[in-house]
């Protein structure tokens, strides 16, 4: 039998055992739509793709790799951001895995699967009814009315399962109970945080949700760092804890402090601060939090990441020169940012397919009318792909869009420079082309007009 074998080599020369004993994986991707199958490792509570294999015509795929650590990995056609379409396994040097990925589950095949993965497979069979409703909500229609009883049934089986399933590998056996608790938490929280036709009130939560606190799950950073999708699950637990305690999410640095108050572990607090800093779109917000919380960066990884975020934010500081972009307008004329010097520039980053962008159009038109005769120049930059240029031109005509209409041909250097990962995005620059803010209020918010008037008044 032929498998597409992808080999990944770990360079951990300090441990020759790994180099001598690769893990061998053979699989069949038995789904209607064939996708690349990926192998993921755990890196500090997040997942990182380390290899990918395209199933052959007979749907077979395979991996041979040298594990960097003994512990949990994942294989599937999903992404690094979610357990959906991914399955978790445990590997140590020399292990073999043979299995079939089906539409709703996976099944071990062959005779050489490790005892650890046999146990994980049995657990997966137990939790599968809950997982299907929690993670595959687009295919399996479910509400809390039928989900909660299923969840409580599986929760009741968890302790007995651990007692009755021993691999003989003390490392794995000592981790199994923790793994099961994290897996239950991931399913329980993902169910609440995904679209449903009906959502429960807090009073309708089952008893299990009382155990979902960061105090219970965030005590040990080492455990978090070794668990698949742990950071994602912690964020979901935080959301559920807030809702249970009736604590609304605070904005900005107030919300960050609330998150830190929930976390019992300083290392994990450092990670939460770094995640917050990485999301900031203006230098002032970044600096406020960085100055206040920099003492939490303890590990080498955190310190390195902090420097990287600081370098990224340096180009976003208020008062810094804006990027001198160059894009064609709807008549084919090239417009440069430098051409707009002397104007207070409001940039609108949008696309024809973006619903929230289109919802702002009436407000933007109203704002343009109100600012008519001033030095405010509205510049709308479309990140539509080249194939949608005709659609863009038609929308400009049909909607009678004003201002300068520029076409960026997708998410290029402009979006990367300003860290634009979602639209609409509005940005304001002064008459010298310097940054006022790269994340201004939207036109539907009266604060944008107030900001423009303030910049106009500054000479």
- Considering only 109-113, 320-324, 386-390, which range has the smallest mean pLDDT? 320-324
Instruction: State whether residue 395 is helix, strand or coil.
Output: helix
38, part of any domain = yes
pLDDT at 9 over 60: no
Above 60 in pLDDT, residue 435?
Answer: yes
Query: What phi and psi, each to the nearest 5 degrees, are found at residue 390?
Result: -65, -40
- Mean of per-residue pLDDT scores for the chain: 90
**Of 52, 81, 110, the domain-final residue:** 110
Q: What is the Cα–Cα distance from 85 to 50, expressed in whole angstroms?
A: 17
* Element containing residue 217 per DSSP (H, E): helix 214-217
Q: What is the pLDDT of residue 333?
A: 95
Nearest CA to 177 among 192, 195, 151, 157? 157
Please say if the pLDDT value at position 307 is more than 90.
no
Within a domain: 237? no
Q: What is the pLDDT of residue 117?
A: 98
- pLDDT at position 6: 53
Which of these three, 55, 76, 110, is where a domain ends? 110
Contact 322, 337 (CB under 8 A): yes
Phi and psi at residue 357, to the nearest 5°: -65, -45
Within this chain, do residues 294 and 335 fall inside the same structural domain, yes or no?
no
Please state at what angle helix 144-164 crosses helix 115-135, rounded to 10 degrees: 170
Model pTM above 0.75: no
Query: For residue 10, what pLDDT is reported?
Result: 43
Residue 424: cis peptide before it, omega within 30 degrees of 0: yes
Q: What is the pLDDT of residue 212?
A: 92
- Give the end of a domain, one of 78, 110, 142: 110
In a domain, residue 120? The reply is no
Do 279 and 334 fall into the same domain? no
Q: Is residue 361's pLDDT more than 80?
A: yes
Q: Are residues 333 and 441 in the same domain?
A: yes
- Sequence-distant (6+) residues with CB within 8 A of 99 are 27, 28, 106, 107, 108, 109, 113
Q: How many CB atoms lie within 10 A of CB 372?
A: 9
For residues 350 and 440, membership in a common domain is answered with yes
Task: Give the gyration radius of the chain's Cα atoms.
Answer: 26
Residue 54 has pLDDT above 70, yes or no: yes
d(CA 176, CA 130): 19
Is 394 found in the same domain as 299? Answer: no
Sign of the four-CA dihedral 125, 130, 133, 136: negative
pLDDT, tens only, 229-266: 999 999 999 989 888 888 888 888 998 998 898 899 99
Same-domain status, 278 and 395: no
Higher pLDDT, residue 1 or 59: 59
Query: Could you tell me if residue 188 is inside a domain?
Result: no
Residue 63 to residue 38: CA distance in whole angstroms? 9
Task: Report pLDDT for 12.
Answer: 42
Per-residue pLDDT band for 308 (boundaries 50, 70, 90) equals: confident
Within a domain: 269: yes
pLDDT reported for residue 13 = 40
Give percent above pLDDT 70 in the chain: 95
CB neighbour list of residue 423: distance below 8 Å, 6 or more residues apart: 349, 350, 351, 354, 356, 357, 383
Cα–Cα distance measured from residue 353 to residue 359, given in angstroms and rounded to the nearest whole number: 11
3-state secondary structure of 173: helix
**Are 397 and 288 in a shared domain?**
no
307's tokens: 């420097």
Domain count, the chain: 3
- Has residue 380 got a pLDDT over 90? yes
Q: Which of 4-18, 162-176, 305-319 has the highest mean pLDDT?
A: 162-176
Residues 104/84, Cβ–Cβ less than 8 Å: no
Assigned domain for 16 exists: yes
Residue 75's domain spans which residues?
A: 1-110
| CATH at residue 375 | 3.40.30.10
* Distance separating alpha carbons of residues 183 and 72, to the nearest angstrom: 12
Give the count of beta carbons closer than 10 Å to the beta carbon of residue 14: 6
Beta bridge partners of 421: none
Phi/psi at 100 (nearest 5 deg)? -120, 130
Per the model's pLDDT, the better-predicted residue between 170 and 15 turns out to be 170
Are residue 337 and residue 295 in the same domain, yes or no? no
Q: Report if residue 344 sits inside a domain.
A: yes
């Amino acid at each position: 039998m032929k498998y597409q074998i992808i080999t990944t080599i770990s360079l951990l020369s300090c441990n020759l055992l790994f180099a001598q004993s690769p893990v061998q994986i053979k699989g069949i991707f038995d789904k209607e739509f064939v996708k690349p199958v990926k192998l993921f490792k755990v890196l500090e509570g997040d997942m990182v793709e380390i290899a990918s294999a395209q199933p052959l015509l007979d749907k077979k795929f395979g991996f041979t790799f040298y594990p960097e650590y003994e512990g949990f990995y994942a294989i599937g056609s999903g992404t690094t951001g979610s357990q959906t379409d991914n399955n978790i396994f445990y590997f140590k040097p020399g292990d073999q895995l043979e299995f079939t990925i089906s539409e709703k589950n996976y099944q071990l095949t062959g005779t050489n699967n490790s005892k650890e993965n046999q146990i994980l497979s049995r657990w997966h069979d137990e939790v599968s009814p809950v997982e299907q409703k929690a993670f595959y909500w687009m295919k399996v229609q479910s509400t809390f009315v039928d989900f909660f009883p299923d969840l409580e049934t599986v929760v009741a089986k968890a302790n007995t399962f651990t007692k009755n399933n021993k691999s003989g590998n003390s490392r794995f056996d000592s981790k199994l109970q923790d793994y099961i608790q994290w897996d239950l938490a991931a399913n329980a929280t993902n169910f609440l945080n995904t679209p449903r036709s009906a959502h429960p009130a807090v009073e309708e939560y089952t008893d299990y949700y009382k155990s979902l606190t960061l105090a219970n799950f965030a005590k040990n950073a080492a455990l978090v760092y070794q668990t698949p999708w742990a950071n994602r699950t912690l964020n979901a637990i935080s959301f559920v804890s807030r809702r249970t305690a009736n604590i609304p999410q605070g904005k900005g640095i107030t919300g960050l402090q609330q998150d830190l108050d929930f976390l019992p572990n300083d290392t994990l607090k450092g990670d939460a601060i770094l995640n917050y800093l990485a999301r900031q779109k203006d230098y002032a917000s970044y600096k406020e939090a960085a100055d206040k919380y920099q003492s939490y960066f303890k590990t080498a990884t955190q310190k390195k990441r902090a420097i990287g975020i600081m370098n990224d934010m340096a180009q976003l500081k208020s008062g810094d020169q804006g990027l001198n972009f160059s894009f064609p307008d709807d008549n084919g004329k090239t417009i440069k940012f430098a051409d707009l010097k002397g104007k207070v520039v409001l940039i609108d980053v949008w696309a024809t397919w973006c619903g929230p962008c289109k919802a702002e159009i009436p407000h933007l038109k109203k704002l343009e009318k109100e600012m008519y005769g001033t030095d405010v120049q509205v510049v709308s930059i479309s990140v539509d792909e080249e194939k949608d240029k005709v659609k863009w031109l038609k929308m400009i005509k049909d909607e009678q869009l004003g201002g300068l209409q520029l076409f960026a041909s997708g998410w290029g250097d402009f979006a990367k420079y300003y860290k634009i990962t979602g639209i609409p995005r509005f940005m304001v620059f002064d008459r010298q082309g310097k940054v006022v803010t790269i994340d201004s209020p939207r036109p539907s918010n009266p604060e944008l007009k107030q900001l423009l008037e303030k910049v106009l008044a500054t000479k």
